[in-house]
Copies of this chain bind each other. A is one copy, B any other.
Amino acid sequence: MDTRIAIIGTGMTHFGELWGVSPRQLASDAVSQAVVDAGLTKKDIQGIFVANMLSGMLGLQGHLGALFAEELGIQVPAYTVEGACASGGLALHTAMMSIASGKYDTVLVLGVEKMTDHSPEEVSSALMGAGSNEERLAGATFPGLYALLAKSHMQKFGTTERHLASVAVKNHFHASLNPKAQFQKSIPIETILKSPLVADPLKLLDCSPVTDGAAAVILQRKKTSTSSHCVEICASQIATDTLGLANRSSLLELRATRYAAHAAYIEAGITPKEIDIVELHDCFTIAEILAIEDCGFTEKGEAGKMIEKGMFTLGSAKRTVVNSSGGLKACGHPVGATGVKQIVELADQLRGRCGKRQVKHAHIGMAHNVGGSGATAVVHIVKSV
């Protein structure tokens, strides 16, 4: 896409167990912040792209595009885009195409998910709607599938449970500095290693939580942008893989991540070394290790060791910071909203708005959003201008 597209406004709710807040209110709060941030009024928005995974799956509400158009009080064209936990990234990508097509100049991307109103069994079952038939019929859940990926990685590369736990330590440390994160506290590695086993080798504190939340960004065609403190999206790439793990040629990587990241680097004309901050899809600790490797930030098999040594952590000298928000692991994972929240974090970091967790001299950021166990991967690269 040749069109230059800027992120001119961001907003997000607190992430967490928000029992008293409706999905409409979550959406409204995130959008209001984004509209104010952009210096616009709601009437400036020409199209709405809603990302959500579970509302329909949990038997609630479909037709969310029209619903949120009504909620905002502006009757503009509205779309719902779904790609499991990559819905947010996919909606952003689709919104960018809408601008590049010439259809709109200014659009809203809204990710919203309300998960805690349902029992864990209902949520687990609905989430498996993103997996393959065979996996569902076998009783697999995502912790189990990612545990298989972890076991493969451990056997091949000597990755340890301590490496996995180091991801959680890092991301909880980052979340301790993020006032909107679900878990705003550091957790010692021993606590993580001693937490209850969910699916060997993944323990409770290797897993991202169930979260309510919404995030919104406003995109604008660059030539009409009036903001001087804006962030430009310089790559947007998608790749797919098989739904089920059984049909993949390797369990040591998420191929779709590798393809999407590679294409994004070409589109942006950069290498991984130039990236200052990354929000990547750490739905489980092993997922972050895989993603760091598959995106090319380390050699294959090296990520766990480097994270244990303190790399990718805020303040750890001249190296890409990974998941400054706390990631899915500790900031929280309202599934359809996650891909949008990643962009909010990047844009806020690049504009120097992140307070205690601010990454110094951050100019280029990358977001990596995954659906299922890697069947969809979406990668965006942004830079400050």
Interface size class of A (residues with CB under 8 A): 35 or more
Query: In the assembled complex, which residues on chain B have CB atoms less than 8 Å from the CB atom of A65?
Result: 82-83, 90, 240, 376
Asked if A354 lies at the interface with its beta carbon under 8 angstroms from chain B, I say: no
Asked if A78 lies at the interface with its beta carbon under 8 angstroms from chain B, I say: yes
One of A96-104, A152-160, A302-310 at the interface: A96-104
Per-position contact with B for A33-68: 1 when CB-CB < 8 Å, else 0? 000000000000000000001001101111111110
A56 to chain B, nearest CB (A): 4
Asked if A129 lies at the interface with its beta carbon under 8 angstroms from chain B, I say: yes
| Complex alpha-carbon distance, A53 and B57, angstroms | 11
Asked if A375 lies at the interface with its beta carbon under 8 angstroms from chain B, I say: yes
Closest B residue, CB atoms, query A241: B75
Query: In the assembled complex, which residues on chain B have CB atoms less than 8 Å from the CB atom of A80?
Result: 81-83
Known contacts A70-B375, A103-B1, A243-B67: does B61 contact A59 (CB below 8 Å)? no
Q: Are B101 and A96 in contact (CB under 8 A)?
A: yes
Asked if A239 lies at the interface with its beta carbon under 8 angstroms from chain B, I say: yes
Q: Are B79 and A90 in contact (CB under 8 A)?
A: yes
Q: Are B57 and A62 in contact (CB under 8 A)?
A: yes
Q: Are B66 and A247 in contact (CB under 8 A)?
A: no
| Complex alpha-carbon distance, A376 and B81, angstroms | 15
Q: Are B2 and A75 in contact (CB under 8 A)?
A: no
| Complex alpha-carbon distance, A241 and B375, angstroms | 34
Query: In the assembled complex, which residues on chain B have CB atoms less than 8 Å from the CB atom of A372?
Result: 63, 66
Q: Are A60 and B129 in contact (CB under 8 A)?
A: yes
Asked if A187 lies at the interface with its beta carbon under 8 angstroms from chain B, I say: no
Query: In the assembled complex, which residues on chain B have CB atoms less than 8 Å from the CB atom of A100?
Result: 100-103
- Near B by CB (< 8 A), chain A positions 98-135 give 98-103, 125-126, 129-133
Known contacts A56-B129, A62-B129, A97-B98: does B103 contact A239 (CB below 8 Å)? no
| Complex alpha-carbon distance, A17 and B310, angstroms | 59
A157 to chain B, nearest CB (A): 25
12 contacts between A and B (CB under 8 A): A1-B103, A56-B56, A56-B82, A59-B126, A60-B129, A63-B372, A63-B375, A65-B240, A75-B259, A82-B82, A97-B103, A98-B101
